[in-house]
Amino acid sequence: MDGTGASGGPARTGGGVLLDVGPLSGRPGIRASGEINVSTRLSWKNALTELSRQHTDVSYVELSAVRFVDVAGVAALAVTAMNLPVGRVVVERPPPQLPRVLDLFWPSLHRIEVAPR
């Protein structure tokens, strides 16, 4: 169902909603726009894998243009952060579902810091 593979870029779902995800410029991490759901899951996971590969101390995940993220999308981010050997992930301006799901399932996950919208 995913429109693209490991290279990132836009993934189209049947309803025309995209997930566009790629590296941040000037600092470590990724930025995304669109929707993180079952249709765009592979792009999201690939981007997170790339993030953990490049990670040294602090990585950023810029989500101000993400309209919605589902539970498995938050879970993929949480598991990525938990598996980092050092440092942390700063999630910038996520949609409201992200802090809600983190709070429900990973209430004391210190490797993720959320900078709200």
Q: Tell me: does residue 102 bind another protein (CB under 8 A).
A: no
List phi, psi (to 5°) of 20. Answer: -110, 120
Q: Which stretch binds another protein (CB under 8 A): 21-29, 56-64, 69-77, 84-92?
A: 69-77
Q: Which stretch binds another protein (CB under 8 A): 24-32, 54-62, 85-93, 98-106?
A: 98-106
Q: Tell me: does residue 104 bind another protein (CB under 8 A).
A: yes
* Nearer CB in complex with another protein: 6/104: 104
Asked whether 1 and 10 are in contact (CB, 8 A), the reply is no
> Rounded distance, CA 116 to CA 54, Å?
24
* Nearer CB in complex with another protein: 22/68: 68
Residue with tokens 């952060």: 81
Q: Tell me: does residue 13 bind another protein (CB under 8 A).
A: yes
List phi, psi (to 5°) of 2. Answer: -75, 135
Cα–Cα nearest to 87, from 60, 62, 50: 60
> Rounded distance, CA 15 to CA 13, Å?
5
| Out of 24, 42, 58, 75, the residue judged to bind another protein by CB under 8 A | 75
Residues near another protein (CB under 8 A) are 1, 13-15, 17, 35, 37-39, 67-68, 70-72, 75-76, 79, 82-83, 96-97, 100-101, 104-106
